[in-house]
């Protein structure tokens, strides 16, 4: 699970203007990992992207990475 958090942190930091404010928290149960991404208020739009394309791409990458651990992953951007 730490690898998924590290991957999401790396991806998010590469997209935002304030990488020091990127935080990822996670909860895990038997079959699923929920990741919550927090960024600076001015960077939320960069993480979501136009019509949600960027966050959709991030979720696709995270789902591909989660296959290795055999769990479903859910990525949400915190308000």
Q: Which domains does the chain have, with CATH numbers?
A: 2-77 (3.30.300.20)
pLDDT at 2: 82
pLDDT at 46: 95
Q: What predicted TM-score, i.e. pTM, was given to this entire model?
A: 0.92
pLDDT at 1: 63
Alpha helices in the chain, H assignment, sequence order: 2-15, 44-48, 53-66
Taking only the tens of pLDDT, the chain with its 79 residues reads 688 999 999 999 999 999 999 999 999 988 899 999 999 999 999 999 999 999 999 999 999 999 988 999 999 999 7
pLDDT at 60: 96
Helix (H, G, I), strand (E, B) or coil at 49: coil
């Amino acid at each position: 699970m730490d690898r998924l958090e590290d991957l999401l942190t790396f991806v998010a930091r590469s997209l935002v203007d304030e990488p020091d404010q990127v935080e990822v928290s996670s909860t895990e149960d038997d079959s699923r990992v929920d990741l919550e991404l927090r960024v600076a208020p001015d960077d939320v739009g960069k993480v979501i992207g136009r019509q949600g394309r960027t966050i959709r791409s991030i979720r696709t990458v995270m789902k591909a990475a989660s296959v290795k651990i055999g769990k479903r992953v859910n990525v949400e951007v915190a308000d």
